[in-house]
Structure 1
Amino acid sequence: MRIPPYHRTPTWQRFFAGAALGGLISWVIFFYMHGVQQEKQIRTLHEQREEIKDLNGEIAIWEQDYKKLNEKNEEILTIQEVEVTITNEKYSLDRLSIAEAEDVIEDDLSSLLAKDVASVYDGKVLLKKSIENKIVTINKKRYQLEVVEIMFYTKMNIEIKLKRTTS
């Protein structure tokens, strides 16, 4: 076997030289384009990292402010409404009489409106005793009140049972 004598003819020499030169130029162009693309990607990633870092810092600041405002608002919560519910399981009383009795109790507790929930909660024992010491007259019969449940928030709910007094 022998190698064909292509090196002697100038047309083949130009072809191989052109192929080698074209391959070299195409590799240079490929590496240049790839490098430019990678630089853009790196720059974009760096900018996004910085933006994420800044936004995380802002989020942390907002969360701290939000927590402080919530704590401050919880400290200054006030009672805006008092609702009294009378349960009369034993006695068959009409709804009008019960509603009137609830209104009387709510009027007595109207001094609690616009007061701090925390301060009213601190005096819950006194509040309970003052309600239980009250005697309500419904249909010419006297009933003593017993507090079943008190819920404290901006709307204070009080559930009361009636007990018949012997006197």
Structure 2
Amino acid sequence: MRIPPLYRRPAWQRFFAGMAVGGVISWCIFLYIYGVWQEENTELIRKQAQEIVDLKDEKKIWQEEYKEINKRKIEQLTVQKINVRITNWEKYKLDLLSVSETEDAVRDDMSLMIAKDIETVYKSKDLLKKIIENKPIKINNKRYKLKVKEMVFYTNLSIQLEIQFE
């Protein structure tokens, strides 16, 4: 079996030479385009990596500032409001007006604690308890005394009281 003698025809020689030159030119174009594309992507990745590092540093700074601000705010928490509630007033068949007036009187006695920081108020809880419990209350010509059942210290100072005969 023989290979046909195409090497003698110039048309076929030009065709194969054109294919070889076209292949080389297309390969060079491909390498150029791929190289430019690769370079652009490498630059983009480098910029994004730098941006990530910058954002992480900025995030760390913000978190540290946020923690510091929270620490200062917690230290500066103050009593904003005082809530007083008498829980067992139905036992003595007291009217709501008398109970409300008694709660207001206790709230007025405790008003010196408004705008004080919570730590100071908590340290003086025994004094508050004595102020409330040592003050006799007169309702409907009967003398009562108050007993502190529960005190909750936060921005709202909540005091639950029980009323008893003196």
TM-score range, shorter chain: over 0.9
Q: SS of 2:48's equivalent?
A: helix
Deviates most, 101-110 or 155-164: 155-164
| Partner residue in 1 for 2:16 | 16
Which residues of 2 match residues 18-167 of structure 1 at below 5 A? 18-88=18-88, 89-165=90-166
| Alpha-carbon separation, structure 1, partners of 2:5 and 2:150 | 111
Deviates most, 115-124 or 83-92: 83-92
1:103 is displaced (CA, Å) by 0.3
| Alpha-carbon separation, structure 2, partners of 1:48 and 1:138 | 76
| Alpha-carbon separation, structure 2, partners of 1:162 and 1:10 | 122
| Alpha-carbon separation, structure 2, partners of 1:141 and 1:56 | 70
Q: Which runs of at least 4 in structure 1 moved beyond 3 Å after TM superposition?
A: none
1:70 is displaced (CA, Å) by 1.2
| CA displacement 1:54-102 (0-9 Å, x = unmatched) | 1111111111111111111111111121110111252222111110000
1:129 is displaced (CA, Å) by 2.5
TM-score, scaled relative to structure 1:
0.93
Q: SS of 1:142's equivalent?
A: strand
Deviates most, 31-40 or 10-19: 31-40
For structure 2, the 5+ residue unaligned runs are none
| Alpha-carbon separation, structure 2, partners of 1:92 and 1:2 | 127
Alpha-carbon RMSD: 1.2
Code of the aligned partner of 1:101: T
